Chain A
Amino acid sequence: MGGLQKKKFERGSATNYITRNKARKKLQLSLPDFRRLCILKGIYPHEPKHKKKVNKGSTAPRTFYLVKDIRFLLHEPIVGKFRDYKVFVRKLKKAYAKTEYSDVERLKDNKPTYKLDHIIKERYPTFIDALRDIDDALCMCFLFSTFARTGKCHVQTIQLCRRLTVEWMNYVIASRSLKKVFLSIKGIYYQAEVMGQLITWLVPYQFSHDHPTDVDYRVMATFTELYTTLLGFVNFRLYHSLNLVYPPKMDSKSDLELKGEDEEDYAMDSESYLEVRLFLYFQDCSFNVFFQEDMENMEAREKEQKQQETQTKLFEGLKFFLNREVPRESLAFIIRCFGGQVSWDKSVCIGSTYDATDETITHQIVDRPNIDKQYISRYYIQPQWVFDCVNAKILLPVEDYFMGVTLPPHLSPFVEEKEGDYVPPEKLKVMALQQGKKPEDEDEEDEEGEDEEEEDDNDDDEEDEEEEAEEKSLKKMEEQRSQVKVTPGKVKVENPARLEQEQKAEEKRLAIMMMKKKEKYLYDKIMFGKKRKIREANKLAAKRKAYDDAEKAKKKKARK
């Protein structure tokens, strides 16, 4: 009998995995530090296929990591920084306890910090990789920038997030790359196309935070730490792609002027500074992106451009004024994304360019049932109009969105209907408008009452007509019976297109006939599925019509 006895759990999957606690001990880190390291380095737990084998026969649920991943973590220089930080905290505590404040100062000056630059470079080897992963970063930064400064996270983090998000919005405006907007009950979804990548992000409504207790703020802060670094580098690159200076600089003169003006209105200098920055960015965005392109690409892109041009210049030439009750930042962002001019009341925020009394304003965005002083020269519309216009890619008729009017539903632009799906009538209307047709429903609805009256008159006429027609046909039949006559032949006009169609249909019919039994069965099944879908869509449409009719009837009653 030769050889050693094989021991259990010394080969196979048991050696590939390591539990979290063991990994933590191997790295000599505390659990929070370990978790932070994993998040920063992008190392995630794994679920082994055979838990019992990995867990040395036990079935207790545990968190597992791959041994190779942990071994990779051992080389990370940040691990050393974490350990340094631990020592730093210990020393600081001791100094405090001994009331040696000079020591405290000295220690604080030498606080160990770390940089995440190399991790960004390592995790996202190319710029496109980073851009693909920017969704998360944007969501997180927008979220953190709306936090109140109440100590849930560092104020500095909030400020940094705000700066980065403002820079990002500025880029989107400059490149005119916003595609879709969706106002949901959760927040506002935006979608932009940056360098061929579709980027979606979610922005919470302002002041909507109740801080949920079951969220680990430490984890979120760690993610934000990574994402702020990432977003900063991405912003830098994007700005340079537009030939812009990255840490966007403004004229010191105008800066000073603005600061001087609004010093009384704003409590915090830093805050007003940020706002000024935001405002100035938007102002500077008048530069032309389209003329900067190389001559070589010009021809190839010309077609695309033309298509997009109408879209990106949607609001060009329009002058908006935002009332104080509408969400200022999102509206200003969107309007500027599509080339419109926008301003607001001076007391609302910094950066208003013209007053409400300006006669050249074309649209005033209002979200209240009525307003005291109205100008004839402008439309008073509800904010949804702006969002719907962006999604429809055309300027929608303003009548549906007038002040105090019940709004049409705000449809999600993220839904793409397949053939045969139910399409809400509002969308159909928009589609028709996009193809350049005139809105017909509007007139119908307005003149509905008159139509019905007319219809009543028509009904009687129709009955008479029907009787007459019957008589006529009977007469003809009689005539045909009594007389046999040779009439000149008519030339049959052959429509080649129709013939072709018929032939095709015939061929198809024959092909179906020639199918094998099995294939036929499958074919029938598919066709049945299609028909069912259509039937369902029709059902929904009918339901909708019934609903609409009921609503109309109600309205009418109310009017009477």
Chain B
Amino acid sequence: MALPLYPERDSQKKKSEIPFCFPNMAAARRLKRVVASQPGFLPIKSPSEPVSTRRKRVNKNRKKNWNKYSDINDVEEFLEDVRLQERTTGGLLSEKTDDSLFFLDAGQPEKVEQEAPGPAEGKKRKGKASRPLRIDLILQHDSLVPPPKDVLAYQQPNAKKLRRIAQKAEQLAAKGVVPRRQKQLLNRRPVERTVKKAVTEANNNPDRDYYDIWGQESKDSGDPWYLQQTRKKLVKRPEKLNEKPSVLPAVEVIAPGGSYNPDFFSHQALLQEAHEVEVKKQKEEDKIVRQITVNKEDTATEETIFQEQVEGLVEEENEEEETAPDDEEESVVVGAIAVAEKKTERQRKRQRADKIKEQQRLADRRQVDQRQQLFQLRSIKASIKQQEKATAVRQIKRKVKQEAQKAQPRRLGRLKFQPQDLEVQLSDELAGSLRQLKPEGSVLKDRFKSLQKRNLIEPRERAKFKRRHKVKYVEKRAFRAIT
């Protein structure tokens, strides 16, 4: 291995043209030295490079023109070279010792030695865990130039002043003098951090305490009028409010068929009940389906369409037949209207007499009937008794109905009470033992429905989410790019 030789000429040239614009003095100084020493990696310039023979004349009285027309390529190339050296070798090659640059070439190393550790290494690296990822290698810092120090990280504004203050404080502390600010803080009264929990204890505090609420008598201290006016005394609860809105018990025990290991017949009975409920539901559904299906007879067939189209165009014979009786009817109607004739005086008299006679007859009849009723007293009594009995029966029936109504859920709002689905396990779902039991239904729902059934709360449904604006679907660009 040998370094390429660089022509002396370039470096000499650089000496005169290096602009004095380095960020710090140290670097500049070093460069000076570089210039004096051997050249770096710069390749030999090819002699075929065209050199402009004519010099362009430009006014150099402006800075702009300096920049524009002065050729600084060679300087830049040189600096580039220096940087490359620094990056790759960690310094200038000319400053390196020979030992660090060259080594003795002693031919090929022995292969046997290399092969022996090879398999062993392969075994070791089975997991390949130790090898870094390529992406990490790429991102690694490969320059040998250390990154510049962040000066700002070490600088502290007003460092001198702060140092002085600290020193002074130290001195004072050594003497035992407490600064004024600290003295003030020390003299302040300590804040009493008493716990206010007694006031703000929540209702569901698990450690809350209870007392004998029914044992103690309320203290009637003070004027009742005063207490009432100042709202110290609570308003008495009306008795009527303590009535329960339903006669149903709070906990309805499930039918014996609902046992986890039920008796055969009670289980069958429960299944029957559940079956009936289902059948009823199914019937209702079927009914709706039946009602909304289109009747086949109502749909137009070709035949009916044709008939509609030719309606009134054919079958004239029938019409004639039909018209004949119509005429007769008309004549009759006309005759009826024409009857209104005036009554004669005689007719009127006679009518009046008839009317009076009829009234007389009816009055007589009534009198006779009443007289006759005297003899019918027994049968009348019997009929009255019968009526009373019928009324009593009806009253009882009504009362029974009202009692039954009391156990029924009332209509308390927009929705009707929907009873819960019966909890049932089919014969093959029944567990053989308590361990394998799969609980049916939810106790939470059972309690909730029970509250509704007892009219304590009105049945409601969950508020539906209403979207104010319509959702707009847009195909994303990324999606498009893939497909």
- List chain A positions with a Cβ less than 8 A from chain B: 35, 39, 42-47, 61-63, 68-69, 72, 75, 77, 109-118, 120-124, 126-127, 129-130, 133, 135-136, 139-140, 143, 154, 156-157, 159-160, 162-163, 182-187, 189, 200-202, 204-205, 208-216, 219-220, 223, 225, 228-229, 232-233, 235-237, 240, 246-247, 270, 325-327, 367-368, 382-384, 406-407, 409-412, 414-415, 422, 424, 426, 540, 543-544, 547
Q: List residues of chain B with CB within 8 A of the CB of A44.
A: 245, 455-457
A1 to chain B, nearest CB (A): 39
| Complex alpha-carbon distance, A118 and B214, angstroms | 11
Q: List residues of chain B with CB within 8 A of the CB of A135.
A: 249-251
Assess the A210–B442 pair: CB atoms within 8 A: yes
Assess the A202–B200 pair: CB atoms within 8 A: no
| Complex alpha-carbon distance, A368 and B436, angstroms | 10
Answer yes or no: B209 CB below 8 A from chain A CBs.
yes
| Complex alpha-carbon distance, A157 and B204, angstroms | 5
B152 to chain A, nearest CB (A): 30
| Complex alpha-carbon distance, A265 and B462, angstroms | 42
Given contacts A118-B234, A135-B251, 13 further A-B contacts (CB under 8 A): A45-B455, A143-B443, A185-B254, A185-B441, A208-B443, A210-B442, A215-B445, A225-B204, A228-B204, A326-B434, A382-B434, A411-B256, A412-B255
| 17 sampled A-B residue pairs with Cβ under 8 A | A39-B457, A75-B235, A110-B196, A113-B200, A136-B250, A157-B204, A159-B206, A186-B439, A204-B439, A205-B437, A220-B444, A228-B204, A232-B208, A367-B435, A409-B263, A411-B263, A426-B263
4 pairs of A and B residues whose beta carbons are closest in the complex: A412-B256, A159-B206, A135-B250, A47-B410
- From A46, A136, A187, A410, give the contact of B443 (CB < 8 A): A187
| Complex alpha-carbon distance, A448 and B265, angstroms | 25
Q: Residues of B within 8 Å of A, CB-based: how many?
A: 71
| Complex alpha-carbon distance, A109 and B458, angstroms | 36
Which residue of chain B is the closest to A134 with respect to CB atoms? B250
A24 to chain B, nearest CB (A): 13
Assess the A410–B253 pair: CB atoms within 8 A: no
| Complex alpha-carbon distance, A270 and B207, angstroms | 11
Known A72-B241, A411-B256, A414-B253; judge A229-B203 contact (CB<8 A).
yes
Q: List residues of chain A with CB within 8 A of the CB of B460.
A: 216
Taking chain B's interface residues, is the majority helix, strand, or loop, or is none over half, making it mixed? loop
Q: List residues of chain B with CB within 8 A of the CB of A123.
A: 237, 242
- From B210, B425, B433, give the contact of A185 (CB < 8 A): B425
| Complex alpha-carbon distance, A223 and B444, angstroms | 12
A411 to chain B, nearest CB (A): 6
Answer yes or no: B258 CB below 8 A from chain A CBs.
yes
Assess the A139–B250 pair: CB atoms within 8 A: yes
- From B211, B412, B458, B462, give the contact of A236 (CB < 8 A): B211
Which residue of chain B is the closest to A127 with respect to CB atoms? B214
Answer yes or no: B461 CB below 8 A from chain A CBs.
yes
Q: List residues of chain A with CB within 8 A of the CB of B253.
A: 182, 184, 189, 200, 412, 414
Answer yes or no: B440 CB below 8 A from chain A CBs.
yes
Known A61-B411, A72-B237, A211-B444; judge A236-B203 contact (CB<8 A).
no
| Complex alpha-carbon distance, A35 and B437, angstroms | 38
Known A44-B456, A208-B439; judge A111-B256 contact (CB<8 A).
no
B residues 447-475 with Cβ under 8 Å of A? 447-448, 451, 455-458, 460-462
B250 to chain A, nearest CB (A): 4
| Complex alpha-carbon distance, A326 and B436, angstroms | 10
Known A61-B413, A212-B442, A412-B253; judge A139-B260 contact (CB<8 A).
no
Q: List residues of chain B with CB within 8 A of the CB of A163.
A: 206
Known A69-B241, A120-B213; judge A215-B250 contact (CB<8 A).
no
Assess the A204–B261 pair: CB atoms within 8 A: no
- From A45, A111, A116, A543, give the contact of B412 (CB < 8 A): A45
A444 to chain B, nearest CB (A): 20
Answer yes or no: B264 CB below 8 A from chain A CBs.
yes
Of B206, B410, B447, B456, chain A has the most CB atoms within 10 Å of the CB of: B206
Assess the A183–B445 pair: CB atoms within 8 A: no
Answer yes or no: B55 CB below 8 A from chain A CBs.
no
Assess the B200–A409 pair: CB atoms within 8 A: no
A518 to chain B, nearest CB (A): 11
Of A112, A184, A410, A426, chain B has the most CB atoms within 10 Å of the CB of: A184
Known A118-B234, A186-B258; judge A45-B204 contact (CB<8 A).
no
| Complex alpha-carbon distance, A66 and B273, angstroms | 38
Over the window 408-450 of chain B, the binary record of Cβ atoms lying under 8 Å from chain A Cβ atoms (1 yes, 0 no) is: 0011111000000001010000001111010111111111100
| Complex alpha-carbon distance, A44 and B457, angstroms | 7
Which residue of chain B is the closest to A183 with respect to CB atoms? B260
Known A229-B203, A233-B213, A544-B264; judge A63-B412 contact (CB<8 A).
yes
Q: List residues of chain B with CB within 8 A of the CB of A187.
A: 439, 443
A73 to chain B, nearest CB (A): 10
